[in-house]
Amino acid sequence: DTLGHSPCCFHHLDEIRCLESMIAAVPEFTVKDLAVNGRDLMALGLSGAQIGQALDLLVNAVVFDGSENKKESLLRYLAERS
């Protein structure tokens, strides 16, 4: 679009590039990084798709809610939501 080519927008390019490099530098947090795993959740009685859903919920809890990535904290987080 023409707005993106307008000289008034060029000063934002450096800011955008800086943010992109900062985002790229942050390692992605995945299920593998959680302090709990599927076996821990099976011990709670979860099975099948419930395990995957719970692990996804916990990843989001750590990444977006600031929950502590410790086994006890994550199991408590699940217990509070069931």
Each residue's pLDDT expressed in tens, for the chain with a length of 82 residues = 455 555 666 677 788 887 787 777 667 899 999 999 999 999 999 999 999 999 999 999 999 999 999 999 999 999 998 7
Q: Is residue 58 a contact partner of residue 82, using CB atoms and an 8 Å limit?
A: no
Structure tokens at 66: 């600031």
Q: Kindly report each contact of residues 69-75 with a partner whose C-beta sits within 8 Å and lies 24 or more positions away, as own/partner.
A: 69/33, 69/34, 69/35, 70/35, 71/35, 71/36, 71/40, 73/35, 74/34, 74/35, 74/36, 75/36, 75/40, 75/44
